[in-house]
């Protein structure tokens, strides 16, 4: 086995999703994931704390991209326009490979209570990153928190739609559409 292989994280993620989809999350061992990826168990643990974390790879990067996009929004942008800029930054980073394995990833998470709980934690983490970025723009609470929660909801709804095989629109377009729909829903509440 080579000492260094390119795309180690991506290979482990793909192997894990494939195995979890084939034989279930609970029935899959880290050693199997590493073997399927052509790597060692030690290499797996250099990349991820445990097999659960392999499914949530990139969470820190996602939070950073959202925060950077919000920070780079035009001066004077409304909180939701700043969130839209964050969503643009995040969704532009998604690859065709992520779209291809998205449906399997969603099924694996939906079928396991532990993974559903971890998914909720990820959502909260993304909302916290957006909320903090909005507060840095001097958006007061609770406006920053509500805008961040709407951003997370828009992202997750858009991602689910994007993973549908028949969907032809881009993830950034879907995220903007979802956020616009939530903006309209807010207006209808009053």
Torsion on CA atoms 120, 62, 88, 91, rounded to nearest 10? -80
84-102 pLDDT tens trace: 999 999 999 998 888 988 9
157 pLDDT exceeds 90? yes
Give which of 184, 119, 116 is closest to 150, Cα–Cα.
Answer: 184
**For the chain, domain boundaries:** 8-53, 58-189
Tokens representing 23 are 């034989």
**Is the Cβ–Cβ distance between 130 and 151 less than 8 Å?**
yes
Nearest to 147 by CA among 138, 134, 136: 134
Q: Check residue 74 and report its DSSP letter.
A: P
Q: Is the pLDDT of residue 22 over 60?
A: yes
Could you tell me the CA-to-CA distances from 142 to 2, 51, 64, 85, 137 in Å, in that order?
52, 36, 21, 20, 14
Does the pLDDT at position 2 exceed 60? no
Q: How far apart are CA 89 and CA 129, in angstroms?
A: 13
How much is the pLDDT for 3? 47
**Selecting from 1.10.357.10, 1.20.140.10, 3.40.50.12240, 3.30.470.20, what CATH number does the domain 58-189 have?**
1.10.357.10
Does the pLDDT value for residue 171 go beyond 80? yes
Structure-block tokens of residue 147: 């805008």
Mean pLDDT within 12-24 = 94
**Mean pLDDT throughout 150-156?**
98
pLDDT at residue 6 greater than cutoff 90: no
- Mean pLDDT over 152-171 rounds to 95
Give yes or no for a contact between 137 and 161, defined as CB atoms under 8 angstroms apart: no
Question: What's the average model confidence in pLDDT over 61-72?
Answer: 97
Assess whether the region 8-53 and the region 58-189 belong to the same CATH fold.
Answer: no
Q: Residue 66: pLDDT above 70?
A: yes
Helices (H), 50-142: 51-54, 59-71, 79-91, 96-110, 113-136
Radius of gyration in angstroms for the set of CA atoms belonging to the chain, rounded to a whole number: 18
pTM: 0.89
Which of the listed ranges 10-24, 56-70, 136-150 does the model predict with the highest average pLDDT? 136-150
Q: pLDDT: is 56 or 185 the higher one?
A: 185
User: Which CATH number among 1.10.10.60, 3.30.1330.30, 3.40.190.10, 3.50.50.60 corresponds to the domain 8-53?
Assistant: 1.10.10.60
Name the one residue in this structure whose structure tokens are 């939906």: 110
pLDDT value of position 56: 87
């Amino acid at each position: 086995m080579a000492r260094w292989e390119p795309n180690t994280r991506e290979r482990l993620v793909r192997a894990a999703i494939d195995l979890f989809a084939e034989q279930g999350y609970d029935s899959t061992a880290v050693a199997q994931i590493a073997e399927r990826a052509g790597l060692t168990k030690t290499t797996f643990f250099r990349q991820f704390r445990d097999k659960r974390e392999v499914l949530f790879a990139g969470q820190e990067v996602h939070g950073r991209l959202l925060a950077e996009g919000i920070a780079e929004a035009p001066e004077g942008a409304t909180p939701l326009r700043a969130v839209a800029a964050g969503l643009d930054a995040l969704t532009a980073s998604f690859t065709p490979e992520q779209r291809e394995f998205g449906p399997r990833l969603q099924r694996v998470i939906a079928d396991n209570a532990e993974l559903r709980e971890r998914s909720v934690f990820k959502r909260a983490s993304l909302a916290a990153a957006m909320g903090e970025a909005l507060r840095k723009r001097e958006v007061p609470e609770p406006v920053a928190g509500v805008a961040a929660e709407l951003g997370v909801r828009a992202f997750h709804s858009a991602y689910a739609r994007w993973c549908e095989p028949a969907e032809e629109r881009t993830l950034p377009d879907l995220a903007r559409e979802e956020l616009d729909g939530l903006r309209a829903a807010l207006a209808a509440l009053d």
